[in-house]
Structure 1
């Protein structure tokens, strides 16, 4: 029986090549005849790979080429200045879609390359030439990693193997660059969305607070004129309580929408901010008091840290245990990874199955004896932490209660 030989088809050159390359950060300006990467992306890691490839093969020149629909862009070059040429003049464009490495001991004797301006002396006088396609996992070939010299030569098997490994590393760096751009774009969209949300919430809050405040004023006036034994007095108290809850909800929604915007980071004393929170909430502060905090420094936005702690401590007040006096302890640890802050109370606690759910906006547990709340306190706290690049989770306090674990990454 004859043995069937499997032949791997060469990758196709997609019609939307330039659009795909733009996802990797390459912008093409046809009117200027130039190609460039965004300022925030560096080609230095790619250049290091090229330098290693040239040294491994014992040649003076190396380059990573990106091939567009009509150009070749030398993205990272060693031994010469990177430039742009037409795809027609490119050596790599003749072979980069072959689906395999190309080794040419003497380009002047190769029918594919002998008349190329990089070989004839019009642009350069290349003789030895070796290249490996830069093919992604999806089968898209961005260009090639190539090394060359002005004298004939032949690489060893090990040298060619290392060249292929370095080409794969180059593809991984370019994929990382692509992901970085995608994340930056998504982050920009989120920031724009948050700004619009804050603006909308501010308008709605202003438009609703006006008539609501007026209504509560008339309710208070009516309450002063109605005898306490009159049936209407109870109705007025219900309206007043509901109106104030709605007013508090509006404030919480506005706070939630504003958190996570532009941060003004600075070195902040955790103990000082905690003392301010205690004063705001009418709680005693210090050793043996309702609220206590360790002396440590954080690199955070001070206003948002105050909002974070205020919501967590207010939650502890709302969900205190009826069996013991409320105690809230704020502590933390720091290392080279960053800082972790613990806000531990001795209240009712939260069941394990509810700890993740209560971090979502407008989620309340509706347990007997719970105080009033909008369901936004923990969501606001989480939004602040995530804006700082950190994480917030809940766990049980030893002896009963809830501990908020806040992880801030290391700051400058």
Structure 2
């Protein structure tokens, strides 16, 4: 394997390959403790005082977990494990001073150490890449049993599984960071475009209204102006939603707020009455959130309920919540048309509309904005069926520790 390719593969495991890079213990996502526990078990199993997990780079041996000695770095040329770790087999040497492979090695001659008993097992991944070795040794001769050697190989396989888990963790963290950066750029772009388009569209609608005033209602152009105006206002509403989506979920100004007070503001915004017997009712609950974003979230959820009522019953919307040491959960339950189970996750995505018969106009961004607000608070928004029919939006706000 090409040395650069080897170092590149090791970097996927969070194992630094240069002197000025951080070793495993300094990588925040990774912990050497589970590896050290395996090394300690291996040394105890073989009855020897020393054990290490070695990572062999293109030019170095790095001890990423060690028992009995301090983890260190040496050149690959001086490493004992580098001479045998690619063999594909375990190496057991009762007395390294008598073995021609190791007799002149500085770890044996006394220049660095005086190793006598030495045993190592390659750390080979399922893809065939050998990361390094699990090694146990002593300054006195020893002869482990076959059962001890078998157990040493089992522990080496466990070490590989831990390193593979660390690799996947790093990959997921990298992917998550890239997705967050991409989403931020997309939101910024959407906000800029919607803002830039809103001005010309508003001007166009102004001229349409002037045209409507100048044209007699019986004139054919009156109908055209009406169609243009309706389409323009729908487009303007869409741009407003896109702009709102791009802005929501940013920096939060958390305050202690009353759920019932925010619900009253939402009712006023939507022209609804609030209280028992009204279309909208709300319990009271104290929570620590961004009040403006909570208001937007509730407004979107209540507006959805208003826009998609059931033709079989009078609309009722109930806002409630529960609080415990986990945090606060807010529920907005309606008795409207409801959402089929297979569509509940899909409608939370931006610009997704079900387009069912009888459904009104919408941008498909209301639920996506609400979900974004919940996520910005560290919470989750989900949908479920209201008993008796309808949809209940469940929004969790974790405790602020």
Q: Shared topology, TM-score over 0.5?
A: yes
The residue aligned with 1:8 is none
Indicate which of 23, 35, 57 corresponds to 1:36. 23
Cα distance change, pair 353–54 in 1 and its aligned pair in 2 (3 A): closer
When structure 1 is superposed on structure 2, of 171-180 and 358-367 the one drifting more is 358-367
The residue aligned with 2:364 is 375
Cα distance change, pair 150–251 in 1 and its aligned pair in 2 (3 A): same
- Asked whether the equivalents of residues 61 and 79 of structure 2 are also in contact (C-alpha less than 8 Å), the reply is yes
- Asked whether the equivalents of residues 7 and 58 of structure 2 are also in contact (C-alpha less than 8 Å), the reply is yes
- Asked whether the equivalents of residues 390 and 406 of structure 1 are also in contact (C-alpha less than 8 Å), the reply is yes
Q: Does 1:113 align with 2:96?
A: no
Q: Does 1:134 align with 2:123?
A: yes
> What TM-score do the two structures reach when normalised by structure 2?
0.87
Could you report, residue by residue, the CA deviation over 1:45-85 in whole angstroms, capped at 9, with x for unpaired residues? 22232223223333222111100111101111122221111
- Asked whether the equivalents of residues 265 and 301 of structure 1 are also in contact (C-alpha less than 8 Å), the reply is yes
CA distance in 1, matches of 2:92, 2:286: 60
Cα distance change, pair 79–346 in 1 and its aligned pair in 2 (3 A): same
The residue aligned with 1:361 is 350
Return the offset for 1:152. Answer: 1.5
> What TM-score do the two structures reach when normalised by structure 1?
0.84
When structure 1 is superposed on structure 2, of 153-162 and 181-190 the one drifting more is 153-162
Number of matched pairs: 399
- Asked whether the equivalents of residues 321 and 347 of structure 1 are also in contact (C-alpha less than 8 Å), the reply is yes
The residue aligned with 1:87 is 76
The residue aligned with 2:140 is 151
Return the offset for 1:290. Answer: 2.7
CA distance in 2, matches of 1:358, 1:340: 21
- Asked whether the equivalents of residues 96 and 133 of structure 1 are also in contact (C-alpha less than 8 Å), the reply is yes
Could you report, residue by residue, the CA deviation over 1:274-325 in whole angstroms, capped at 9, with x for unpaired residues? 4443333233334443333444566766554443332222111111123433
Cα distance change, pair 230–405 in 1 and its aligned pair in 2 (3 A): same
CA RMSD of aligned residues (A): 3.1
Q: Does 1:73 align with 2:82?
A: no
CA distance in 2, matches of 1:363, 1:146: 56
CA distance in 1, matches of 2:44, 2:196: 69
Return the offset for 1:144. Answer: 1.0
Return the offset for 1:146. Answer: 1.3
CA distance in 1, matches of 2:87, 2:162: 22
CA distance in 1, matches of 2:251, 2:151: 46
- Asked whether the equivalents of residues 14 and 27 of structure 2 are also in contact (C-alpha less than 8 Å), the reply is no
What secondary structure sits across from 1:147 in the alignment? strand
Indicate which of 251, 254, 263 corresponds to 2:243. 254
What secondary structure sits across from 1:133 in the alignment? strand
- Asked whether the equivalents of residues 195 and 243 of structure 2 are also in contact (C-alpha less than 8 Å), the reply is no
The residue aligned with 1:7 is none
- Asked whether the equivalents of residues 334 and 392 of structure 2 are also in contact (C-alpha less than 8 Å), the reply is yes
Return the offset for 1:401. Answer: 1.4
Return the offset for 1:145. Answer: 1.3
Q: Does 1:319 align with 2:308?
A: yes
The residue aligned with 1:350 is 339
CA distance in 1, matches of 2:179, 2:230: 36
Indicate which of 183, 187, 195 corresponds to 1:194. 183
